[in-house]
Amino acid sequence: MQNTSTLNGLVTFARRHSRFYRRLHADAPRDIDSLAQLPVVDPGEYWKDAQRLDRWPVLTGEADSALVFKTGGTTGDGKLSVFSRDEWLTLTRDFGRSLALQLAPGDRVANLFFAGDLYASFVFVHDALAHVGTAVTEYPFTGSVDPAPLAEAIVRHRINVLAGVPAQLLTFAAWLAGRNRALEGVTAVLYGGESVFAGQRRLLERAFPKAQVASIGYASVDAGLIGTRHPDCAMDEHRTPDGHSLLEILDEESGEPIEACDRTGRLVITNLTRRLMPLIRYPVGDLACWREPPGTPQRKFALTGRSSDSQRVRVGILSLEPHAIGECVRRITASDDWQLLIEQCEGRDVVSLNWVPGASGPDTGIAAGDSLRDALTEQNPQIERLTADGLLELRICRCTVEQLLRHPRSGKQRRVVDLRPYESQRQEQP
């Protein structure tokens, strides 16, 4: 196995300095030659006490010279993700070098990712652009810039690359469409944090008719660098960042590694560069399938949706947390039977919370649905903005247990069902 020495060094270090991994790996061999000899992390256990860094058993030391970001939730209750300064430099350097495949000398890049409130995306892209290795200019607008001055600045400064989350880019494209405008000087639209689907892509192509619409790369504030985008990657495809991370695709039911192409499973990462907050066989929350055979350098894979046991579900700029949603459903309906359904309709994300009334629930009528809607909106204030921009529809639907979708093989109830039409699913095999 590649990186065996590096992997054993990481595992040994984590066992020695992290109380979490010392317990998790208590029965694992001292030296390993396969990731399958180690248990897969339970994200729910991993993130316990992550709001208090001095109590979090995952960390291998004090966060004395570090960067701290939030992953999901609000500033007060969101889980925290920690990088040492050297780890952050390695992450942004490796990601920046991968961007050289998508940027050309002289490109002028509008950074439209979000900043502040412990968000990582803007700072991450800003730092990564310093490592591209070619002469590019950054215009650090952030995601809070209004459409009118942004459009004016793009024309005035001849900005030709837009980089941001899909929701921000789509809001800007819709604003342009409403004024019958198109920005033909834009040659690339690079999105990150969420997939772009066919209807959304058409809107972007109308607003920026000369632009290539592509992923900027695949990374998250918790897992770090997961995949890089190369010129031969189709929509939803990325390549494994060899030397930075090890990726596995595991069968959702058996947990066995999948090596065959075009068979979907749970994507699991081992980050070889993170030691302060180790990630060893950590489920990233996505489903994926391989596109190339084992042994292929920088082996290509494709995203196919969100896994049913995701700790965090990205929908546009939303970070929905199934655990928090479940607590709301139990409190309001006295029921544990619910499901989050995510679909696409005419370029708009449709999120349905389907819930089954509890036998002794305090409120199981229309009022319960209204209470659930209010609770979700309070947890996720961005819902109102996305709804107003026509990018999201939130549905609260009372249903029966029989109407909740189950896993086709195990029959288990699925908390999260992602039915959005990922481009990669056209080749997926059962």
Q: Model confidence at 405, in pLDDT bands (50, 70, 90)?
A: confident
The contacts of residue 289 (CB under 8 Å, 6+ apart) are 249, 258, 261, 262, 263, 264, 265, 301, 302, 304, 424, 428
DSSP class per residue in 236-300: TEEE--TTTEEEEEE-TTT--B--SBTB-EEEEEEETT--SS--SSEEEEEEEEESS-TT-TT-E
Q: Rounded distance, CA 187 to CA 183, Å?
A: 9
- Nearest to residue 237, comparing CAs of 309, 167, 286? 286
Q: Rounded distance, CA 250 to CA 281, Å?
A: 10
Q: Which residue has tokens 């990481």?
A: 10
Q: Rounded distance, CA 59 to CA 78, Å?
A: 17
Whether 79 and 71 have beta carbons less than 8 Å apart is answered as yes
Q: Rounded distance, CA 176 to CA 15, Å?
A: 54
pLDDT at 74 over 80: no
**What's the CATH code, domain 4-88+218-306?**
3.40.50.12780
Q: Model confidence at 77, in pLDDT bands (50, 70, 90)?
A: low
Radius of gyration of the chain from its Cα atoms, rounded to whole angstroms: 22
Q: Which residue has tokens 């459409």?
A: 147
State residue 187 phi and psi, 5-degree precision: -105, -15
Q: Rounded distance, CA 353 to CA 341, Å?
A: 6
**What's the CATH code, domain 313-414?**
3.30.300.30
In the chain, what percentage of residues exceed pLDDT 70? 93
Domain with CATH 3.30.300.30 in the chain: 313-414
pLDDT at 211 over 60: yes
Structure tokens at 247: 């990726």
Whether 125 and 191 have beta carbons less than 8 Å apart is answered as no
DSSP 339: E
pLDDT digits (tens, 9 = 90+) for 163-185: 999 988 998 999 999 999 999 99
pLDDT at 199 over 90: no
Q: Rounded distance, CA 58 to CA 19, Å?
A: 6
Q: Which residue has tokens 């992390």?
A: 41
Q: Model confidence at 365, in pLDDT bands (50, 70, 90)?
A: low
Domain with CATH 3.40.50.980 in the chain: 103-215
Q: In DSSP terms, which residues pair with 238 in a beta bridge?
A: 301
Q: Which CATH architecture has domain 103-215?
A: 3-Layer(aba) Sandwich (3.40)
Q: Model confidence at 361, in pLDDT bands (50, 70, 90)?
A: low
